[in-house]
Amino acid sequence: MNHFGINSLRAHWVRHTIKLEAIRTAAQRVAASHGLEVVDLEFVGPAKERILRVLLERNAEGRLKLKERIAPGAEGLPERLREGALSVDQLSGVTHEDCAEFSRDFSVLLDVEDLVPDAAYTLEASSPGLDRKLIRPEDFRRFAGCLVKIQTFEPIRNNRHWQGRLIEYREQGTGEQVPSGEGVPAIVLDLNAIKQNSKTRKTGVSTVEIALGNIEKAQLVPEI
């Protein structure tokens, strides 16, 4: 490929990235007006059938009010909440009405600001679900104590796939994937909290520390 082609592809990628960030910023603005936060936003599907998917949850104030309403021992709660297998933090607090109102206002803003020019797409707004992705450092702090599934970029002890209970978020990791003295954020998983596959068992460890920068994918594992 000639330099012109490479530069054209790079320019296309930059434009796409900037536009997606603009869309994300707009979504956050609309969400905030409804007392919500954007958990994740992505374009998926082929060009002619693209879906703009926005995952939403109540903002910190809304989640605090939800916790206050769901007092310990309250009647009518899901069994998993009563038993402590499900944390209130895992509930998004988002209703169908919230998603509908957000979608209405966000669609108008997308059109007014022409953020998706010359493109056919379907807008989907929903809660992130109990198997939600963990993306930001605050997600790992917030969901300490929950079961998680992790995929790393670089293997740790010849393994890239880990499952366990998230027992700690460290601002300065100390494990084998964390350069000494560099203050790299990391998480620690308790592997005894969940049945492991043979590859993980062969690592011979009961806990593993994973640098945040080495995490390719992370999500909660619902406890049923």
216 exposed, middle or buried (CB, 10 Å; 0-12, 13-18, 19+)?
exposed
Per-residue pLDDT, 222: 87
- Beta partners for residue 36, in sequence order: 58
Q: Note the pTM of the prediction, 2 decimals.
A: 0.77
Which of 77-81, 98-102, 107-111, 157-161 shows the lowest mean pLDDT across its residues? 77-81
The span from the CA of 122 to the CA of 43, in Å, is 10
Sequence-ordered strand ranges (E) for the chain = 36-44, 50-58, 121-126, 147-156, 159-170, 186-190, 207-211, 215-220
Q: Residue 6 — pLDDT band, cuts 50, 70, 90?
A: very low
To 5 degrees, how large is the angle CA 48–CA 128–CA 170?
120
Q: Residue 15 — pLDDT band, cuts 50, 70, 90?
A: very low
Which is more confident, 37 or 88?
Answer: 37
The span from the CA of 145 to the CA of 141, in Å, is 9
The span from the CA of 8 to the CA of 188, in Å, is 42
Phi, psi of 33 (to 5 degrees): -70, -15
Give the mean model confidence (pLDDT) for residues 10-20. 53
Domain extent listing, the chain: 3-126, 137-220
The domain defined by 137-220 folds into: SH3 type barrels. (2.30.30)
pLDDT tens-digit readout, 39-66:
999 988 887 788 999 999 999 898 888 7
pLDDT tens-digit readout, 154-175:
999 999 999 999 999 999 887 7
**Helix, strand, coil content of the chain in percent (nearest 5):** 40, 30, 35
Positive or negative torsion for Cα 91, 92, 97, 103? negative
Per-residue pLDDT, 161: 96
The span from the CA of 135 to the CA of 222, in Å, is 17
